[in-house]
Amino acid sequence: MNMKHGLYLFMFLLCGTGLQAQDRVVEQPAFDAWSSTTLEIDKIALSDTATVFYIDAYFRPKYWIQVVKETTLRADGKTYPIKTGDGITLSKKFWMPESGEASFRLIFPPLPKGTKTVDFIEGDEEGAFKIWGIHLDGSPANSSLAGKKNPKEDPVLEKPEFKNGLGILKGHIAGYKPEMGLKGRAWVSNILTGSNDEYDITVQSDGNFKLEIPLYYLTSLNITSGFINGQIYLKPGETTSVEINFPEICRAQSKKQKDKPSLGEKYYFTGAMAALNNEACNSSLRFVSLTPKTQEEYMQMFSDISSMNADQFKAYWMDRYQKEKAALDSHTELSDAYRTLLQNSLKKDLAEQLLGITGMTEYAYRTANQIPRDSVIPKDKKVIPGIGYYDFLPELVCNDTYLLYDGSFTYLISYIQYANFTGEERTDKDNIPDNTAELAKLMGTDKGTLFDLLAAQRLSKPIKEFHPLSDEQIAQAGKISPVFQEAFVLMNNKVKQTIEENKKKSGYTVNRVNIADIPAEELFNAITTPYRGKVVFVDFWATWCGPCKAAMKQSEPVKKDFAGKEIVFLYLAGENSPKGTWEQMIPDIKGEHYRMTDAQWDFICKKFGVNGVPSYMIIAKDGTPTHFQVGFMGAEKMKEMLNKELEK
């Protein structure tokens, strides 16, 4: 661009945005709530001819964001549609630079003088950027909980006992508006099955929500949402209530507002476990972990351990543990109870890393040396330690029931269950021998909470694969604990009910093509050929994959919109999805289903670049793949892409 043209453009923008008639500028205005931390308002220029938002964007480098042309401002019951963008093209992908930071302007019509607050609404679809209650008068954000304080009460750790009952969480989001559409997901680790029980959090129009979680002991509920992220401790048979200071949560998240005065504490718990939850959820130290924090650190970790032997690997993680423990010890403000839980979490994390030595070192070696997963690595590069390596277990996993406070303790139980204490290479990965005898030698006992939970998880395996337990197996659960027996009876009855209900369902087809004897290299063509003339939406998934199931739930309305049209929904899974589980899940997934052998699955994944699930492919009517991606594209994008193919 030459200087003359640059000057003309500058004058055009100056006139077009009304900056010559500018009345005032609001610097870094406070706001009451937002849907995303991506867009921050640096300032707003208000004039008789335009309202100009100066936006700073923060997002992952080399990923794109988008501001749609339907963006509006809403104030006092009126809507003001966006005019244009400067530095960003509306409804076009804006690719973030290496810094992960960018700036641009969004230009709207003028707002009436005297407007005190305005809402920025980038769209009404899920995932749109929204900022509510932007203060144009320089006042701070509004919070009905401003200044409120939790009682100064040090929590006391109760000893967990096995007990069946509902743990109830009641919540209210202060400052909630129905148009916020907040929702979330919660899960509790089922220590009897080694899996997660998931729940949707539905926020009512008045900002209230309620969860009822079947529990077997005092433990933590994990929540992912815009208003809570982390662990909340619940007790079976009791109720925990929380008032959520959403404006304060949003203020603290903001790069431009976080140094302004606090609007109070973020969470106010009452009821069961209130003191512990108030400290844990409002603490500046909410998580401790030995694992890397960034992708770069992960890659460095893999490089570091790729050539280590067992002793070096153990020393590496012990060193990380000592550094994290020292960092934890520096937080002198923590109560003894909360500090104990964080220390236990670090111990659990260390035990998991040390138990995962064989798989982790092999993955690191493959990554460092760029060896594909379907290629065999040299035997001398596999790190399979002997039983002496595992001398850390008595100290880190000491049959301590207080470990149950950490809901993810169930993963450690699974690590131990599948641990190879013998030092011999396993050739049959489907038949893992019972390692209780070797574990008992290490622990110096075969009694206690750890062994009870290991026995329970072994008993639960048929239930997880939708095979009801026999009366004899139920009786074995009773010998471990009457609480376990009661829980297994309930789970068993639920499995039986699901099996009967699935017999009545339709709308899904299993293996229209007999794939058992088809070579891997011919399989995909054999599966898709019968659908020539139709658009095929292929979903690579697994029964154990939480994101797969979440995406299926989001895509269900889209599938209904295409009912009766020339489109096929094709679901492909491998043998790592247990057959019984797969058979009982697919009746609720309308479409065509195939479960492939390991060899077939590996070949297709390698051919199409399926590096994780869920992954998706769209195949045109002539059988040509036109799109592939890892991770769900979102319901709206899915609908848009399928309509585009149907119109060809």
Give backbone dihedrals phi and psi of 316, rounded to 5 degrees, phi first. -60, -50
Q: What is the pLDDT of residues 341-370, one digit of tens each?
A: 999 999 999 999 999 999 999 999 998 888
**CA atoms of 512 and 32, how far apart (whole Å):** 54
What is the C-alpha separation between 119 and 130, in angstroms, rounded? 7
Q: Indicate whether 372 pLDDT > 80.
A: no
Query: Do 356 and 481 fall into the same domain?
Result: no
Average pLDDT for the chain = 91
Query: Which residue reads 């891997």 in tokens?
Result: 520
- Cα–Cα distance for residue pair 89/102, rounded to 1 Å: 13
Percent pLDDT > 90 in the chain is 76
Q: For residue 400, what pLDDT band results from cuts at 50, 70 and 90?
A: confident
| DSSP β-ladder status, 51-58 and 39-47 | antiparallel
CB atoms within 10 A of CB 221: 23
Above 70 in pLDDT, residue 475? Answer: yes
Q: Are residues 261 and 302 in the same domain?
A: no
Q: Which of 186-190, 214-218, 270-274, 604-608 is predicted most confidently?
A: 270-274
pLDDT value, residue 520: 85
Q: Write the CA distances from 525 to 398, 573, 623, integer angstroms.
A: 54, 16, 9
pLDDT value at 210 more than 90: yes
Give yes or no for residue 515 having a pLDDT over 80.
no
Residue 403 DSSP label: G
Q: Are 237 and 217 a contacting pair, CB within 8 Å?
A: no
- Judged against a pLDDT cut of 70, whether residue 9 lies above it is answered with no
Tell me the backbone φ, ψ of residue 429, rounded to 5 degrees.
Answer: -75, -15
Q: What is the rounded CA–CA span in Å between residue 615 and residue 132?
A: 35
Q: In 3D, which of 228, 229, 252, 294 has the Cα closest to residue 60?
A: 294
Burial code (b: 16+ CB inside 10 Å, e: under 16) for 494-522 equals ebeeebeebeeeeebeeeeeebeebebee
Query: For position 390, what pLDDT does the model report?
Result: 96
- Residue where a domain terminates, one of 118, 135, 152: 135
Q: Is residue 336 part of a domain?
A: yes
Cα separation of 130 and 110, whole Å?
A: 19
Distance CA 611, CA 497 (A): 36
pLDDT band of residue 571 (cuts 50, 70, 90) is very high
Report whether 490 contacts 498 (CB < 8 A): no
Please report whether residue 16 resides in a domain. no
248 and 333 in one domain? no
Of the candidates 193, 192, 233, the one whose C-alpha atom is nearest the C-alpha of residue 213 is: 233
Co-location of 341 and 442 in the same domain: no
Structural domains of the chain, count: 5
Amino acid at the residue 246: F
Task: Specify whether 395 is located in the same domain as 465.
Answer: no
C-beta separation of 206 from 378 below 8 A: no
Kindly report the CATH number assigned to the domain that includes residue 97: 2.60.40
Q: Quick one: pLDDT band at residue 391, thresholds 50, 70, 90? A: very high
Q: Are residues 525 and 639 in the same domain?
A: yes
The answer to whether residue 216 sits within a structural domain is: yes
| pLDDT one-digit tens code per residue, 181-192 | 999 999 999 888
Identify whether 526 is part of a domain: yes
pLDDT number for residue 195: 85
Mean pLDDT of 443-466: 92
The CATH number assigned to the domain holding 607 equals: 3.40.30.10
The answer to the question of residue 400 being in a domain is yes
74 DSSP assignment: E
294 or 591, greater pLDDT: 591
Query: Which pTM does this prediction carry?
Result: 0.84
Evaluate whether residue 262 is within a structural domain.
yes
423 with 299, same domain: the answer is yes
Q: Pick from 429, 449, 478: which residue ends a domain? A: 429
261 and 184 in a common domain: yes
Distance CA 15, CA 84 (A): 13
Same domain (yes/no): 558, 498: no
Q: Are residues 514 and 635 in the same domain?
A: yes
> Is residue 121 within 8 Å of 128, Cβ to Cβ?
yes
Higher pLDDT, residue 409 or 30: 30
User: Could you tell me the end-to-end alpha-carbon distance of the chain, in angstroms, rounded to an integer?
Assistant: 40
512 falls in which pLDDT band (50, 70, 90)? Answer: low
Let me know whether 458 and 512 are in one domain.
Answer: no
pLDDT of residue 428: 65
Residue-range definition of the domain harbouring residue 472: 434-503
Residue 445 lies in a domain: yes
Residue at 6 is within a domain: no
Q: Both tokens of residue 1? A: 């661009």
Alpha-carbon separation of residue 197 from 93, 187, 584, 628 (angstroms): 37, 5, 17, 30
One domain, residues 519 and 599: yes
Q: Which of 282, 315, 338 is the last residue of a domain?
A: 282
